[in-house]
């Protein structure tokens, strides 16, 4: 029998700093030292008002990756997302088959997440609501209900409706995948080795056997740039994301911007001592609505996610581009709301390419292709128009919320509020909620665009799997952190099925119960590495 399996975890960044634990400080983490700092290539249909027509794409360069710098939202996507994956030839990925993997990691303490068919307690990943909701969260919640949206748990088999979100948080502190899964076992399991500051250069593959036998990583100031093509797959293609615009602003009468410096210091002290108060939440972003536009054919699936982001209206109107590039204010303090209609099912597809000038340390070339398909832009415009109905509600009128009608510089030639103006705004002030996926598409062998099979094995290469958000054949209609963790849970079972239980093409047990030694000709497979 196998007594242990050795695991090597390589992270290009460093250990997660304490600041990541504070939910309201999430904006500070983007463009920081724990962010890869990627920018898209100049785009033809989006980001048109931004510098060089490029959009920022923050990605976590730290233990826990992007789960350490995101906005902590726990949304799974809808059942139809996963049933669609299965319909594309990915056996084992229907909603009924992936639901146990969502539940496996989940330790859900939300009192309204009581349906045991959909939720679980006891997993590594704590899921809760924030311990703090300011007045505007309740105002927005009432406004959505006035518009007829049903209050539901969007992590069951229904999505269309409104909820105060569940988050990857434990007693007010962020639960990244690092905090939830790695820290509890780090330095306790002798078979786990972690190398931070380790920039992986390539997977080592035997070109004759087409078998992966290790990895090569950079840590000691040496480089190698040659890459031999062993198997030509569509890696980098099928890039998808959830775009949204800046610029639809609701001014408020009652805000938290005027809080004194002394009060803000007290809020920080309160978080440090008790992990609650304004710093333990993300303002109004914790309120979520899924809706449909006239372009959606399914009666079950949303095509727009509505979020009320927070902003400082004076800074934004003075220079909307600079305001977004220098946004480091805690989410607890704001004087206006940004209506964000987020496109959930983009038709446009992008591609990621290697940087030919500096393929190891140069940023990859990100061709987002956002709004290449016009229907994507039109859906967001409809989302704006539906979101503006919030201003008609008693809840918003009582709060004094009003639409800021200042024309943004890039769209001054359009009449404010017309479809043409909204189209200009969406194309000019594009951003995303940083859900880049699908560049190593999962699919059967006959799918020429597929990179991995339904067991997450790279087509044509032995002993190599990809287990992350890149395998999604189509992006889920919702935030991607929870689905990526699910993919990790299912992927780990696929590995164990092979190496520990003799399933599929994996370890074979003899009649005496011992493992066939032929599978260990390369001793310590995971540690067969080269340092540069």
Please write down the HEC assignment for all residues of 221-236. CCCCCCCCCCCCCCCC
Q: How far is CA 7 from CA 101, 191, 201, 334, 495, in A?
A: 21, 6, 18, 45, 12
Q: How far is CA 129 from CA 74, 144, 271, 467, in A?
A: 10, 19, 16, 28
C-alpha radius of gyration, the chain, whole number: 24
Domains and CATH numbers, the chain: 7-188+235-496 (3.30.560.10)
Rounded distance between C-alpha atoms, residue 407 and residue 405, angstroms: 6
Q: Which two tokens stand for residue 144?
A: 């959505």
Rounded distance between C-alpha atoms, residue 118 and residue 105, angstroms: 12
Q: How far is CA 257 from CA 283, 311, 322, in A?
A: 12, 9, 19
Residues annotated as binding site for FAD? 62, 200
Per-residue pLDDT of the chain (532 residues; tens, 9 = 90+): 445 578 999 999 999 999 999 999 999 999 999 999 999 999 999 999 999 999 999 999 999 999 999 999 999 999 999 999 999 999 999 999 999 999 999 999 999 898 999 999 999 999 999 999 999 999 999 999 999 999 999 999 999 999 999 999 999 999 999 999 999 999 999 999 999 999 999 999 999 999 999 999 988 665 574 567 889 999 999 999 999 999 999 999 866 666 788 999 999 999 999 999 999 999 999 999 999 999 999 999 999 999 999 999 988 888 899 988 888 889 999 999 999 999 999 999 999 999 989 888 899 999 999 999 999 999 999 999 999 999 999 999 999 999 999 999 999 999 999 999 999 999 999 999 999 999 999 999 999 999 999 999 999 999 999 999 999 999 999 999 999 999 999 999 999 988 776 654 433 332 233 333 333 333 333 334 455 5
Residues sharing a CB contact under 8 Å with residue 522, sequence separation 6 or more, in sequence order: 213, 528
Q: Which two tokens stand for residue 401?
A: 């919320």
Cα 191 vs. chain centroid, distance in angstroms? 29
Q: How many CB atoms lie within 10 A of CB 372?
A: 18
Q: How many CB atoms lie within 10 A of CB 515?
A: 16
Model pTM?
A: 0.92
Rounded distance between C-alpha atoms, residue 196 and residue 13, angstroms: 6
User: What are the residue numbers of the active site?
Assistant: 435
> Which of 110, 30, 29 lies closest to 74 in space, CA to CA?
110
Rounded distance between C-alpha atoms, residue 220 and residue 529, angstroms: 14
**Tokens 């400080």 belong to residue:** 25
Give the DSSP H or E segment for 8.
strand 7-11
Contact of 236 with 351, CB cutoff 8 Å: yes
């Amino acid at each position: 029998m196998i007594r242990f399996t050795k695991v090597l975890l390589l992270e290009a960044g460093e250990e997660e700093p304490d600041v990541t634990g504070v939910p309201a400080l999430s904006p500070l983490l983007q463009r920081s030292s724990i962010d890869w700092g990627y920018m898209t290539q100049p785009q033809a249909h989006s980001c048109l008002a931004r510098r060089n027509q490029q959009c920022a794409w923050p990605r976590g360069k730290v233990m826990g990756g992007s789960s350490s710098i995101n906005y902590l939202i726990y949304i799974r996507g809808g059942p139809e997302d996963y049933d669609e994956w299965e319909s594309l030839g990915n056996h084992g990925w229907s909603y009924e088959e992936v639901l146990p993997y969502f539940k496996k990691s989940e330790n859900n303490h939300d009192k309204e997440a009581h349906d045991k068919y959909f939720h679980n307690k006891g997993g590594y990943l704590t899921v809760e609501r924030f311990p703090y909701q300011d007045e505007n969260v309740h105002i927005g919640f009432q406004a959505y209900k006035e518009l007829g949206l049903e209050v539901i748990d969007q992590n069951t088999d229904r999505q269309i409706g409104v909820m105060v979100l569940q988050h990857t948080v434990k007693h007010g502190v962020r639960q990244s995948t690092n905090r939830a899964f790695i820290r509890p076992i780090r330095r306790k399991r002798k078979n786990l080795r972690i190398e931070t500051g380790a920039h992986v250069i390539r997977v080592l593959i035997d070109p004759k056997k087409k078998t992966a036998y290790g990895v090569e990583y950079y840590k000691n100031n040496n480089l190698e740039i040659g890459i031999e093509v062993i198997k030509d797959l569509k890696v980098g293609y099928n890039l998808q994301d959830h775009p949204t615009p800046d610029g639809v602003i609701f001014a408020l009468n009652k805000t938290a911007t005027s809080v004194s410096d002394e009060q803000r210091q007290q809020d920080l002290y309160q978080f440090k001592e008790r992990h609650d108060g304004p710093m333990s939440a993300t303002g109004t972003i914790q309120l979520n609505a899924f809706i449909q536009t006239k372009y959606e054919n399914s009666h079950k699936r949303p095509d727009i996610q509505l979020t009320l982001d927070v902003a400082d209206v004076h800074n934004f109107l003075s220079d909307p581009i600079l305001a977004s590039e220098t946004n480091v204010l805690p989410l607890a303090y704001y004087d206006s709301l940004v209506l964000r209609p987020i496109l959930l099912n983009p038709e446009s597809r992008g591609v990621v390419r290697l940087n030919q000038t500096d393929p190891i340390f140069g940023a990859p070339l990100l061709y987002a292709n956002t709004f290449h398909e016009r229907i994507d832009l039109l859906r967001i415009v409809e989302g704006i128009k539906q979101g503006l109905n919030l201003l008609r509600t008693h809840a918003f009128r009582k709060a004094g919320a009003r639409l800021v009608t200042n024309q943004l510089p890039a769209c001054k030639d359009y009449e404010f509020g017309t479809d043409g103006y909204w189209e200009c705004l969406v194309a000019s002030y594009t951003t995303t909620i940083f859900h880049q996926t699908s560049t190593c598409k999962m699919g059967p062998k006959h799918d020429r665009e597929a990179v991995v099979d339904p067991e997450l094995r790279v087509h044509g290469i032995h002993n190599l799997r990809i287990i992350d958000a890149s395998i999604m054949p189509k992006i889920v209609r919702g935030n991607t952190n929870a689905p990526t963790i699910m993919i990790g849970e299912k992927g780990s079972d696929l590995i164990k099925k092979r190496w520990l239980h003799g399933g599929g093409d994996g370890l074979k047990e003899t009649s005496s119960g011992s493992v066939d030694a032929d599978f260990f000709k390369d001793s310590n497979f995971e540690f067969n590495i080269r340092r540069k």
